[in-house]
Amino acid sequence: MRYVSTRGGMPPQPFTSILIEGLAPDGGLVVPDRYPRLTTQDLARMRHLGYQDLAFEILSRYIDDIAPADLKSIIARTYTVATFGSEEITPLATLEPGLHLLRLANGPTLAFKDIALQLLGNLFEHVLAKEGATLNILGATSGDTGSSAEYAMRGKRGISVFMLSPRGRMTAFQTAQMYALSEPNIFNIAIEGVFDDCQDIVKKIAGDREFKRRWRLGAVNSINWARVAAQVVYYFKAYFAATRNEEEAVAFAVPSGNFGNILAGHVARQMGLPIRRLIVATNENDVLDEFFRTGRYMARDFAKVVATSSPSMDISKASNFERLVFDLADRDPATVLALWDQLDREGGFDVSGTPLAAKLRTSSFVSGRSTHADRITTIRSIAEKHRVVVDPHTADGIKVGLANREPGVPLICVETALPVKFAQTIAEALGREPERPRAYIGLEELPQRCAVLGVDADAVKAYIAEHALA
Ligand SMILES: *Cc1c(COP(=O)(O)O)cnc(C)c1O
């Protein structure tokens, strides 16, 4: 397997060369040069595998330059009952016949991002050790991604994490999750500003090539290909759990922001998994819903992104979306290059009336949008009908999923976080606090530590230079 750029400007690379950086040197995204196809016989054979064996079957097709025995042991160390709470890792709960909840949020930070990032942490450690290299990860977070990344990298040899967060602007739970980590390779930097300030600082520092090279700075953002590959596994696992044989097809409803999660569903479908529909659910920040309905992709101004009660889906543009467009364009880099050039110049593009729109119509994607009121109603009705409390993001997915449900096709709604992370919205919907998993009782009382800095890229640079791995 070799990896190429969606914009055509990168010589084919093996997996370990693209592991750390999802962005190609030409500004495109790294993608596999083809999707391995599985036959019905392959699927039938994979149906009864446990999570680890299934993960190896799928990941070894994308990761073929790590020795199989090493990859097996990385997977075995990653997907454990201790880390994910059950043998199934991503259990499927049936709400009613034909309606399922895919539980992806039982990892250490109670969000689906753990499934990919826990693997990434072990892959990074392995590859860096082989190369005798070190890596300093720099990132900005408004809550979920930062904690997932820190829990994945804590205690890892050869890796340090510098995570910027807006001081006093995360929930008490999210703050405690991050700032209570005591591993010496985790550096939380609270910035006296908002999330956009944090992100600007990261961009500024990453734009200083000399500094970036000197300190071997890297990122773990959602365009990382290994994250997408890790997520492909649970689409297979859920399909097998919801069906009896390979004749059956299913639909997935996915709460979407940067398009990483549902892109993995698209990849699974390209590999031959019988998926009839991939249902994209957005919140009020509906840049993706607009595209799938109209063919128009209009990135939003930062100022136009509204803060919602499903905050992990508050995006101005969907960073992984370029990978889907590449496939819709029959993997023609020139088409992608032209569209993204137009996006840069004009802030958007419109593919309606082009061959791409025709391709889109025959693709499996449908979409919908959910609002705060929908979220509240859905959390309430699912709690009343099925005795299950879902988080606001998951509620967006269920709302849009049910609106696009087809009779006779099992609908799998993807759970992306546990309700305890968003207690305020749950209290608004149900009049009570969400249940807290036992391991998280007293989390906010643990001692916390972080550095506090102003909105000042030079101060952050100085901090990194003082604490980074050489
Ligand atoms: C990150 C996140 C999402 C959005 O996932 P994408 O892969 O960015 O589309 C949805 N829900 C929760 C809880 C998340 O943390």
pLDDT digits 0-9 by tens, 209-239: 899 999 999 888 889 999 999 999 999 999 9
Element spanning 52, H or E:
helix 51-62
Residue tagged 């991050």 (tokens) = 178
Q: Among 110, 105, 132, 137, which residue's Cα sits nearest to residue 121?
A: 137
- Ligand 1 site, residue 222, Cβ cutoff 6 A: yes
pLDDT of residue 206: 86
Report the predicted TM-score, pTM, of the whole model to 2 decimal places: 0.96
Instruction: Dump pLDDT digits (tens) for 413-430.
Output: 999 999 998 999 999 999
Q: How far apart are CA 2 and CA 12, in angstroms?
A: 5
Residue 23: predicted pLDDT = 87
Using a 6 Å cutoff on CB, does residue 416 contact ligand 1? yes
Per-residue model confidence as pLDDT tens digits over 251-300: 999 999 999 999 999 999 999 999 999 999 999 999 999 999 999 999 88
Range in 37-46, 162-171, 267-276 the model is least confident about: 162-171
Whether 165 is in the pocket of ligand 1, judged by its Cβ within 6 Å, is no
Q: Taking the CB of residue 60, how many other CB atoms lie within 10 A of it? A: 16
Helical residues (DSSP H) of 252-391, grouped into ranges = 260-270, 287-294, 321-328, 333-346, 355-362, 372-386
Q: Is 224 in the pocket of ligand 1 (CB under 6 A)?
A: no
Which residue among 113, 151, 414 has the greatest number of ligand 1 atoms within 8 angstroms of its CB, and so is best to mutate?
113
Give, rounded to a whole angstrom, the gap between the first and last alpha carbons of the chain. Answer: 32
Phi, psi of 166, rounded to the nearest 5 degrees = -75, 120
Min mean pLDDT across 14-28, 149-163, 233-247 is at 14-28
Cα 135 to ligand 1 centroid, rounded to whole Å? 25
Domain 92-110+231-430 in this protein, CATH class: alpha beta
148 lines ligand 1 (CB under 6 A): no
Say which of 113, 237, 317, 421 is annotated catalytic. 113
CA distances from 93 to 104, 310, 412 (A): 11, 22, 9
Nearest CA to ligand 1 atom 1: 312
- Expressed in angstroms and rounded, the spacing between residue 258 Cα and the centre of ligand 1 is 7
Pinpoint the alpha helices (H) of 162-312: 172-179, 195-207, 209-214, 225-242, 260-270, 287-294
| 414 closest CA partner among 191, 248, 225, 250 | 250
Backbone dihedral region for residue 203 (phi beyond 0: left; psi -120 to 50: alpha; all else: beta): alpha
Q: Residue 256: CB within 6 Å of ligand 1?
A: yes
CA of 106 to the centre of ligand 1 (A): 15
Ligand 1 atom having least distance to the Cα of 148: 15
Q: Please tell me the distance from the alpha carbon of residue 112 to that of residue 432, in angstroms, as a whole number.
A: 24
Say whether 421 is catalytic.
no
Note whether 233 and 394 are within 8 A (CB).
no
In this prediction, residue 447 carries a pLDDT of 96
321 lines ligand 1 (CB under 6 A): no
Do the domains at 3-85+112-224+446-467 and 92-110+231-430 have one common CATH topology?
yes
Say if residue 240's pLDDT is above 90. Answer: yes
Domain boundaries, the chain: 3-85+112-224+446-467, 92-110+231-430
Q: Into which CATH architecture does domain 3-85+112-224+446-467 fall?
A: 3-Layer(aba) Sandwich (3.40)
φ, ψ of residue 40 in degrees (nearest 5): -60, -35
* Residue to mutate (ligand 1; options 101, 228, 256; most atoms within 8 A of CB): 256
